Amino acid sequence: MEKRMLKDDNDRVDGILKVTGQAKYFAEYELPGLTYGVLVTSTITKGRITALNTKDAEKAPGVIAVISHLNKPSATAYEQEGGPQMKIFYTDRIFYNGQPIAIVVANTFERATYAASLVKATYAKEEFNTDFEKALKDPKAKKLQGQADYKRGEENAYKNAEVKLEERYFLPIETHNPMELHGIIADWRPNNQLTVYAKTQGVKATQGTIANVFKIPMENIQVNSEFVGGGFGMALRTWPLEIATVMASKHIGKPVKVVITRMKMFTMVGNRPAAIQTIGLGANKDGKLTGITHRAYGETSTYENFTEGVVNMAKFMYQCDNVNTSYAIVPVDLGVPIWMRGPGEATGAFALESAIDEMAHALGMDPLDFRIKNDPETDQQKNKPFSSKNIKEAYKIGAEKIGWNNRKNEPGSLVEGPWQTGYGVSVGVFNANRGKASVKGTLKADGSLLLQSATSDIGPGTGTGMTLIANRLMKIPVNKITFELGDSSLPPAPSQGGSATLSTVGSAVNDVCVALKSAIAELAANSNMDATANFVDVLKKNNLPQIEITKESQGGKEKDNYSMYSFSIHFVQVKVHSLTGVVKVSKIVSVGDSGTIVSPKTARSQMLGGAVGGIGMALTEESIIDHRYGRYINNNFADYHVPVNADVPEIDVNFINKPDPYINPMGAKGMGEIALIGFSAAVANAVFNATGKRIRTLPITPDKILA
Partner 1 sequence: MKSSDQKPNQGDSRRDFLKKSSVITAIALTPGVAVKAAESNADERFAELFEKIPLKLTVNNKAYQTTVEPRVTLLDYLREELHLTGTKKGCDHGQCGACTVHVDGQRINSCLSLAVMNEGKKITTIEGLADGNTLHPMQASFVKHDGFQCGYCTPGQIMSAVACVREGHANSRDEISEYMSGNICRCGAYPNIVDAIIEVKEGGQTI
Annotated catalytic sites, by residue? 673
Exactly one of 53, 80, 85, 108 binds partner 1 (CB under 8 A); that residue is: 108
**Strand pairing class (100-106; 275-283):** unpaired
- Kindly state whether residue 331 participates in binding partner 1, applying the rule CB under 8 A: no
- Tell me how far, at minimum, the Cβ of 601 lies from partner 1, in Å: 5
- Kindly state whether residue 438 participates in binding partner 1, applying the rule CB under 8 A: no
- CA 438 – CA 509 distance, rounded (Å): 8
| Size of residue set near partner 1 by CB under 8 A | 79
Exactly one of 33, 51, 53, 61 binds partner 1 (CB under 8 A); that residue is: 61
- The interface region with partner 1, picked from 61-69, 271-279, 439-447, 515-523 by CB under 8 A, is 61-69
DSSP element (H, E) containing 513: helix 501-526
> Does residue 223 contact residue 203 with C-beta atoms inside 8 Å?
yes
Tell me the CB-side half-sphere exposure of residue 151, using CA atoms within 13 A: 6
Q: Which is nearer to partner 1, 172 or 178 (CB)?
A: 178
- Tell me how far, at minimum, the Cβ of 526 lies from partner 1, in Å: 43
Picking from 534, 550, 583, 547, the residue whose alpha carbon sits closest to that of residue 687 is 583
Exactly one of 33, 50, 51, 71 binds partner 1 (CB under 8 A); that residue is: 71
- Tell me how far, at minimum, the Cβ of 530 lies from partner 1, in Å: 39
User: Exposed, middle or buried: residue 618 (CB in 10 Å: 0-12, 13-18, 19+)?
Assistant: buried
- Tell me how far, at minimum, the Cβ of 691 lies from partner 1, in Å: 24
- Kindly state whether residue 137 participates in binding partner 1, applying the rule CB under 8 A: no
- Span 37-56, contacts to partner 1 by CB under 8 A: 56
- Span 164-193, contacts to partner 1 by CB under 8 A: 177-181
Q: Which is nearer to partner 1, 15 or 291 (CB)?
A: 15
- Tell me how far, at minimum, the Cβ of 605 lies from partner 1, in Å: 5
- Span 528-567, contacts to partner 1 by CB under 8 A: none
- Tell me how far, at minimum, the Cβ of 225 lies from partner 1, in Å: 12
- CA 659 – CA 690 distance, rounded (Å): 37
SS3 234: coil
Per-residue binder mask for partner 1 (CB under 8 A), 210-229, x = binder: -----------------xxx
- Kindly state whether residue 33 participates in binding partner 1, applying the rule CB under 8 A: no
Handedness of CA 76, 78, 79, 80 (dihedral sign): positive
- CA 495 – CA 466 distance, rounded (Å): 16
- Kindly state whether residue 110 participates in binding partner 1, applying the rule CB under 8 A: yes
- Tell me how far, at minimum, the Cβ of 461 lies from partner 1, in Å: 7
Which DSSP category does 182 fall into?
P
- Kindly state whether residue 611 participates in binding partner 1, applying the rule CB under 8 A: yes
- Kindly state whether residue 432 participates in binding partner 1, applying the rule CB under 8 A: no
- Kindly state whether residue 419 participates in binding partner 1, applying the rule CB under 8 A: no
- Span 575-604, contacts to partner 1 by CB under 8 A: 601-602, 604
Per-residue binder mask for partner 1 (CB under 8 A), 250-279, x = binder: -xx------x-xx-----------------
- Kindly state whether residue 12 participates in binding partner 1, applying the rule CB under 8 A: yes
- Tell me how far, at minimum, the Cβ of 74 lies from partner 1, in Å: 11
Which DSSP category does 272 fall into?
B
- Span 277-296, contacts to partner 1 by CB under 8 A: none
Query: What DSSP string runs through 588-627?
Result: EEEEEE-B--SSHHHHHHHHHHHHHHHHHHHHT----EET
- Span 628-687, contacts to partner 1 by CB under 8 A: 636-638, 642-651
- CA 478 – CA 472 distance, rounded (Å): 9
Q: Which is nearer to partner 1, 560 or 650 (CB)?
A: 650
- Span 449-468, contacts to partner 1 by CB under 8 A: 458-461
- CA 479 – CA 513 distance, rounded (Å): 17
Q: Which is nearer to partner 1, 488 or 635 (CB)?
A: 635
The alpha-carbon radius of gyration of the chain (Å, integer) is 27
- CA 311 – CA 431 distance, rounded (Å): 13
- Tell me how far, at minimum, the Cβ of 131 lies from partner 1, in Å: 27
- Tell me how far, at minimum, the Cβ of 241 lies from partner 1, in Å: 16
- CA 562 – CA 462 distance, rounded (Å): 26
> What would the 3-class secondary structure string for 341-410 be?
CCHHHHHHHHHHHHHHHHHHHHHCCCHHHHHHHCCCCEECCCCEEECCCCHHHHHHHHHHHHCHHHCCCC
Query: What DSSP string runs through 447-478?
Result: S-EEEE-S---SSS-HHHHHHHHHHHHH---G
Q: Which is nearer to partner 1, 253 or 364 (CB)?
A: 253
- The interface region with partner 1, picked from 21-29, 150-158, 376-384, 537-545 by CB under 8 A, is 21-29
- CA 90 – CA 423 distance, rounded (Å): 54
Give the other-Cβ count within 10 Å of 610's Cβ: 29
SS3 565: strand
Query: What DSSP string runs through 187-222?
Result: EEETTTEEEEEE--S-HHHHHHHHHHHHT--GGGEE
- Kindly state whether residue 148 participates in binding partner 1, applying the rule CB under 8 A: no
- Kindly state whether residue 605 participates in binding partner 1, applying the rule CB under 8 A: yes
- Tell me how far, at minimum, the Cβ of 1 lies from partner 1, in Å: 6
> Does residue 647 contact residue 316 with C-beta atoms inside 8 Å?
no
